[in-house]
Amino acid sequence: MTTAALARAWRNQGLRVQAFKCGPDFLDPMILEAATGRPVYNLDFTMCGEADAQAQLYRAAQNADLVVVEGVMGLYDGTPSSADIAVRFNLPVLLTIDASGMAQTFGALASGLLGFNPQLTGAGVLANKVGSEGHAKLLCDCLPQHLSWFGALLKNENLRLPERHLGLFRAHEISDLEQKIETAAHALAQLSALPLPAPVTFNAPKNHNTPQLLANKTIAIARDAAFCFIYQANLDCLQDMGATLKFFSPLSDTTLPEADAYWLPGGYPELHLEQIAQNIGMRKALHAAFAAHKPILAECGGMMALSETINQQAAFNLLPGNSQIHDKLQALGSLKAMIPDGELGAHTFHYGSFETTVPAVASAKTRFGKTENIYRHGSIHASFLHFYFASNPIAAATFFNGRTA
């Protein structure tokens, strides 16, 4: 919420704000998009690659007054960490610190975090969960002179965002999200002038033309409450390769749009089992597309929806096998998947399992040792992996042009 509030506060000053999210997260970018009014992109050196990050930041700088990059976990957590990305692109770091129950230690913590890596450029500090305006003044006064004060957010349970097993609720599910963001942005602006950090220059990426591997093809993409984990960069990449995009809802539509290929991304099919089981029209339409040898990519929740059952309830029954949602996280991490057409960036984060007799045509391991398979069944490619198409457009096109991966 703090990043969204900050982005909105600057937007309210008339600035064009472009937000990014470190790591492969889908849900935080939805909140940031609501705050900025612009699609949000991801920066992840493993999944996306440094070249993609450079290109995305350079492109954003041509069409925005301010770029805001929300970190992931703690400043130094992960490989690469938010600090690594900041150093690589010379991004000034604005710390957000939970200041509840803290006084002068706030200044020491801020100074220590930024001093841990001398290559970091410190922009300033924002205090979260502050007890009062007096508390905020105390925190501001204890900061070293070289760190700017970006304000404080007082403790306010009304600003808390609801969560479930995969993280925050989707932005569209939070009925008062606009009010929460605007309230938080106003509170920040009241306690700080919100100083702008020094300008940063991003180097232009190497010129390259995206191969037109999907020219004259139409790709229909599932997009609704159950199928919602879609990177904007993936949509951009498909269009850059010449594809025309259509969208449909496996929950409410009873027919498929006419298309050359179909993509069912991840999401929350486990929350909509009754609708999936009862949508006989969509089941028949998917079976007809499969019988017509139309390429189908099914990622994570999309793969589970195409299996025979989810939690013993009927699914679309295109993939032999059964899916189950567990209480504990089953896999997590960014990785590279090697398929015959090259290496493709991806990430995995799920509570599901898939028991099947379908052989794997490729597999990849997370840094924690978890193996994720890529299955092929007829014209279907399926996996728990969420692929990042721009990391290798040639490999990504494989899933949609009918060739064997």
What pairing do the DSSP bridges indicate for beta strands 266-267 and 227-229?
A: antiparallel
Asked whether the bond before 80 is cis by omega within 30 degrees of 0, the reply is: yes
Selection from 67, 108, 73 nearest residue 91 by Cα: 67
What does the alpha-carbon distance between residue 283 and residue 277 come to, in Å, rounded to a whole number?
9
> Which two structure tokens, joined as six digits, stand for 40?
């949000």
Radius of gyration of the chain (CA): 22
Helices (H) and strands (E) in the chain, counts: 12, 24
> Which two structure tokens, joined as six digits, stand for 56?
């995305």
> What is the CA angle 315-321-324, rounded to 5?
65
DSSP letters spanning 199-240 = P--PPPPPP-PPP-TTTT-EEEEE-SSSEEE--HHHHHHHHH
* Residues acting as catalytic residues: 300
Phi and psi at residue 20, to the nearest 5°:
-130, 160
Q: Tell me, what amino acid is at 399?
A: F
Q: Cβ(174)–Cβ(161) under 8 Å?
A: yes
